[in-house]
Structure 1
Amino acid sequence: MTNIQPPAAGPPQPPIDRADHHKHMDFVQAVITRLANNSFLMKGWAVTLSSALIGFAISRQQFGVALAALIPIAAFWILDTYYLRQERAFRDIYRDVASKTLHNFEIDPRGYVTRHAWFATGRSISLSLFYAPLAVVTCVITTLLVLSGQTTNADTTPAPATTSTTITSTTTTTTTVGTTPPTNRPK
């Protein structure tokens, strides 16, 4: 890793006030905390949405819905990779602020983000040990639903009908003499 160095040429930098320096570190730490919280929320939403889709797929015996659970897993994995990449960049900024190699009070991660590749960040232990098992379990459940659907369809082939139906009809007529039908008179 290379550190961003202050410009070599130019006027000497004025000494940094200790209170300003600590406040700058607090700002950077607040961003790191917010990014870590977003990462935590991504994991929660990934589990919630994928388990809801898998539960629905199991109850309806539809493997396509279980397969669709891979979409939020992949989307949240990518989004969580973004947040972790940003968090690592801000940790680098924090180190430079703490070592007093960063003299201006900007919080710009653009020069630091390029140090952390997307693919390497996405394969990090904290992400791959969470999202990969979630994806594997989803694939296993999808496979089980596909296999159970094939055996269920083979076992429930309707047998040819061998019974016959006979329709019989009987009619009875009753006649009563000397009675009048009831009327609805008010009392």
Structure 2
Amino acid sequence: MNEDPLQIDSEAASIQTHLGIIQNVIQRMSTNSTNCKAWCVTLVAAVLVIIADKGKPDYAWIALLPTVVFLALDAYYLALEKGFRNSYNQFVSKLRAGSLTEQDLYSVMPVGNMSKLQLEAAKSFSVWGFYISLGVLIGVTKWIALG
């Protein structure tokens, strides 16, 4: 493959298409993150309703399982979103510097250490704030059901 920088106008259809593809991927990751939260609330509520219906408040901790699973999945989607934003920014920087290569075009891969990005995403308030609050609500629900 040719590694020489391409002389491409930033308004070229190929450049705009590539940037559009990455923007769409970023949007999908953001939507997936939002859906994780919605599904988590739905499943936790369903588990708590079933537990309340059966009169077994000791099993309320089962509702923590989907909370933990969706926390990890949410952090994963946010890490992918950040990786694709890094890819987008790197592409734009190369475009401005005039150092784009043929290999850069239509290479849609997240940039960065995914493990590190996922850990950073899990530490963000949008993740831990939501899931810790949900965990506290599960605990309060169990306490109310026992009391």
The TM tier, using the shorter chain, reads: 0.7 to 0.9
Does 2:57 align with 1:56? no
**Cα distance change of structure 1 residues 73 and 29 upon mapping to structure 2, 3 Å threshold:** same
1:80 aligns with: 74
Distance 2:100 2:57 in 1: 54
Amino acid at match of 1:130: F
**Cα distance change of structure 1 residues 11 and 108 upon mapping to structure 2, 3 Å threshold:** closer
Does 2:14 align with 1:13? no
**Cα distance change of structure 1 residues 131 and 11 upon mapping to structure 2, 3 Å threshold:** closer
Distance 1:117 1:11 in 2: 29
Amino acid at match of 1:127: V
SS in 2 for 1:69: helix
2:36 aligns with: 42
Distance 1:113 1:30 in 2: 21
**Cα distance change of structure 1 residues 84 and 102 upon mapping to structure 2, 3 Å threshold:** farther
Shift of 1:128: 1.5
Shift of 1:93: 0.7
Higher relative contact order (CA 8 A, sep 6+): 2
Distance 1:11 1:76 in 2: 42
Report the TM-score when normalising by structure 2.
Answer: 0.82
Q: Which structure is higher in helix share?
A: 2
SS in 1 for 2:112: helix
Distance 2:3 2:79 in 1: 34
**Cα distance change of structure 1 residues 117 and 94 upon mapping to structure 2, 3 Å threshold:** closer
Structure 1 unaligned residues grouped into runs of 5+: 1-9, 149-187
Shift of 1:61: 2.5
Shift of 1:102: 5.2
The C-alpha deviation readout for 1:15-63, integer Å capped at 9, x for no partner, is 1242211111001011111111111111111000001111222233212
1:108 aligns with: 109
Distance 1:143 1:102 in 2: 59
Distance 2:53 2:114 in 1: 45
1:140 aligns with: 140
**Cα distance change of structure 1 residues 108 and 29 upon mapping to structure 2, 3 Å threshold:** same
Distance 1:64 1:116 in 2: 36
Shift of 1:81: 0.6
Distance 2:100 2:3 in 1: 15
Amino acid at match of 2:63: A
Contact 1:25 1:94 in 2 (8 A): yes
Contact 1:88 1:116 in 2 (8 A): no
Structure 2 unaligned residues grouped into runs of 5+: none
**Cα distance change of structure 1 residues 78 and 23 upon mapping to structure 2, 3 Å threshold:** same
Task: State the identity as a percent.
Answer: 30
Amino acid at match of 2:66: P
* Alpha-carbon RMSD: 2.1
Instruction: Report how many residues are paired.
Output: 137
